[in-house]
Amino acid sequence: MVSPVALVVSIWIALVVLPSYCNAISVLATLQPRHPRLFLHDADVPAIKHAISTNPFVGQEYQQLLAYGDELLTMPPDTYGLKGSEHSLLATARDMEGRIFTLAGLYRLTGDQRFSARATKEMLAAAAFPNWNPKHFLDTAEMTAALGLGYDWLYSTLSPADRATIRNAVATKGIDPWLKRLQGKGIPRNNWTQVCNGGETIGALAIGDEDPARASKVLDSARSAIADIMTLFAPDGGFSEGPMYWKYATIYNALYIDALDSALGRDFGAVAATGFSSTGDYRIQSDGPTHLLANFGDSNTNGATPVAQMFWFARRFNKPLYAGHALYLAQDKHGEKGHDRFGLFMLLWAAEWSAQAPSSGSNVTLPLVQSFVRIGQAYMRSAWHDPNAWYVGFKCGHALASHGDLDLGGQRWASDLGADSYGLPGYFNFHRQRWTYYRTRTEGQNTLTIDGQNEDLDAVAPMSAAGTMGNTLYAIGNLDQAYKGKLRSWKRGVAVIHKQRALVEDEIVPAQPVDVVWNFHTFARVQIAAGGRSATLTEGGATLRARILAPSSARFSTASTKVPPPQRPNPGLTNLVISLKKQSRPETIAVLFARPEDDATPRLRPLSTWK
């Protein structure tokens, strides 16, 4: 006979456990019962093969994938080892992704069991690693994505023992450390959210039928985390971490949504997030006419490359412009060398897009000037698809934006130095040590420094206006908060005038006597004219002249850009500066950039009249 106490305990336990069990059933209720369930169902394969044979770009991507797959057949599996300045497994995890995605994908498209056998060997090697380095969780998330997809796509070729080994690795080395992390410090609210939740979701869906308890916990957590992080695309698709991290975050955002759609038939509303359908605009606008990125913050200047998610965006939101931009970059052979670990998804999403590509709209372009409100950035150019076009990237926004520098007011006519080593002491200490390094502090940016100090860490600088004035493109940033207590107000305007010249105009009102330095970093050879009112910049056979239009007392000079180790050196870099000492009255600093033969001098107008 069961005692009353035992009965109460049994009922209490049932009440605690039952909701969790029901939740697992609910979130996985529509899980596709058979493998493969992720991204590419067996019924979709004929259409992909048709695109390979009929679409030149898709066919080219397939040939590149096939060549890489053949190369992998002769290579040994990856080995465990922590590398780089961050002492991480990330390089190995990314290489593993590229290998498994490629090999598993080629098996799905060709049926050649050499590829499935080689992918299995790769997965078993990863499963035998002592861990997937959860201390740097990006490593773990990307490994989970790799083995999750491989497990799902190659399920029918795996032996029962190999299935158990790989499934156990996904569960105990991928998912369990993630669930433990969620109970502790969590992860930063930046691109890590998309990558970690996206990677873990792929792993969870792959083993969801066999391990519903673990899988449901991952999916439930990811739903709220992704919904939260995707609010940062609102209202217009801008991305505060810059174009390099846009590429990283959005590929995993697309993978997350596509994994849910293919495995569950629903994405819990993620794809409808405000601004997400327009975020391809940001990708295109931050790609300059010579295909060097507007590399604010920790972004680099690497040539813009076609990325898989632009085809995904084009298909999902019926925006052929996005696919057109990727095709244009591919045709002109811009960008990075080597294997793209997401090359398989480039093929799949380009094929899917080509099957529904509308015949109209391919010649649509974005505006010549476009601002992104929440992140406080604006881009302007004198023409599209012209390598000689004038181009300006103008950044305001939040001083403490993830991967950002103290560069409110920076502009793309000069060179942004990009990231220093992530292994520098305190590089990601956003409250102190990060701002002691030249590449992140205000002095190292193309903006104003006041009294030689950094901008205020809590500063927010909105882009207050952007548009056209006749044949002039312009944007204005409100930087009043950048130096509280030192400047009563500071407005910066940037304009491209008649598609022939560019103007940078700063209006400052000091709150006390301050030393003001206008900074302009360039890798061009700089020659300052007699009298100091103009400077000629020469690089790669091209010449640009900078002229000071105001104040009348200002002169150009240069400042040192040398830094002590272990910071990265800045060889060939010149900081062209204008220094104003003990400035106590309202002042306008205006510099005009034009070709040397252009002597036209525009009439300066107060920024309040730019409209």
Residue-wise pLDDT for 16-54, tens only, equals 333 444 454 589 999 999 999 999 999 999 999 999 999
CA distance 153 to 268: 24
Task: Count CA atoms within 13 Å of residue 33 on its CB side.
Answer: 0
Q: Which residue has tokens 């609010």?
A: 231
The CA–CA distances, whole Å, from 12 to 3, 7, 29, 386 equal 14, 9, 26, 71
Region of poorest pLDDT, from 224-238, 250-264, 425-439, 507-521: 425-439
For residue 214, pLDDT beyond 80: yes
**Which pair of tokens denotes residue 30?**
């529509």
pLDDT per position as a tens digit, 466-479: 999 999 999 999 99
Question: Within 13 Å and on the Cβ side, how many CA atoms surround 393?
Answer: 26
Q: What is the mean pLDDT of the chain?
A: 88
What's the pLDDT tens digit per position in 551-573?
Answer: 999 999 999 999 989 898 888 89
Q: Which residues are CB-contacts of 528 (< 8 A; sequence separation ≥ 6)?
A: 534, 535, 556, 557, 558, 576
CB-based contacts of 188, cutoff 8 Å, min separation 6: 402
* Axis-axis angle for helices 343-356, 56-72 (nearest 10): 160
Nearest to 108 by CA among 153, 63, 65, 152: 153
Q: How confident is the model at residue 444 (pLDDT cuts 50, 70, 90)?
A: confident
Decide if pLDDT at 411 tops 80. no
* Residue 45, helix vs strand vs coil: helix
Residue type, 535: A
| Angstrom distance (rounded) from CA 198 to CA 85 | 25
Looking only at the bridges linking them, the beta strands covering 463-469 and 460-461 are: unpaired
Bridge partners, residue 466, by sequence:
475
- Which helix (H) or strand (E) is 594 found in, with range? strand 587-594
At 29, give phi and psi (nearest 5°).
-60, -30
Count other Cβ atoms within 10 Å, centred on residue 301. Answer: 17
Q: Rounded to the nearest 5 degrees, what angle is found at the Cα of 91, between the Cα atoms of 59 and 436?
A: 125
Residue 220's pLDDT is what? 97
104-108, 266-270, 359-363, 403-407: least confident range:
403-407
Q: Are 176 and 217 contacting, i.e. CB atoms less than 8 angstroms apart?
A: no
Residues 240-258, mean pLDDT to the nearest whole number = 94
At position 295, the amino acid (one-letter code) is: N
Which structure tokens are listed for 475?
A: 């944007």
